[in-house]
Structure 1
């Protein structure tokens, strides 16, 4: 009898906690902030650096964001692009968000990044050769 009660309680605890567990070890694609993702993920850092490095007409805050994270970042959103889960970040320069913003779209593993930079003085630029679906996700 005691063993049955113990087993029942254990099953109840497992069923109660099941929604909080993840089916895999991959990090969540939503609810993250770009500075912490770049600090903790080499794949994200490398792919974004590759896309931004050496580009012309970039706002200063974008050029320096890898070493000096003085920008505002909203929590990431999980988006589906051409049937693939991706992670979308929206960032901007403090006090001038209306005039200078950047959106970054990463593959789920962080190894692929595409960017949209909108700046009142420098215009709109897509970086990283985004597909049509990726452009659509960046423009949302």
Structure 2
């Protein structure tokens, strides 16, 4: 009985307790929560894979600088899952505007920390791709 008790005590001491006040960043990287954390901050497969439905890119100028603008969406679900993309002409940077519609509500998330001008260009592109 004593070895079983010792093993259970050691296991309890090795497992971090969850309590109010625990730091979010620490919890997010604990083995119990890390897989869920990583899946939450991962782009959907339709964005990262080659199967997205897309259109040819177009050249745009933002603040006197040339860029490429593109649009893609989830196959068979374009009305509810889209992404606008802006690429720097040299290919060194890209930004995105991920748009999801759930239950009639539109949720948009900028990616790559676009400045106001680039974000505005992506929002305008979304409007052109979603008239009315």
Q: Could you state the TM-score of these two structures normalised by the residue count of structure 1?
A: 0.54
Aligned residues: 84
- Of structures 1 and 2, the one scoring higher in RCO (CA 8 A, sep 6+) is 1
Counterpart position of 1:59: 44
Partner secondary structure for residue 99 of structure 2: strand
List per-residue Cα deviations over 1:81-100 (Å, max 9, x = no partner).
Answer: 11100000100011111100
CA RMSD of aligned residues (A): 2.2
CA contact (8 A) 1:59 1:119 kept: no
Q: Report which of the two structures shows the higher radius of gyration computed on alpha carbons.
A: 2
Q: Does 1:79 align with 2:64?
A: no
Segments of 5+ residues of structure 2 without an aligned counterpart are 1-37, 125-132
Q: Could you state the TM-score of these two structures normalised by the residue count of structure 2?
A: 0.57
Partner secondary structure for residue 110 of structure 1: coil
CA contact (8 A) 1:91 1:102 kept: yes
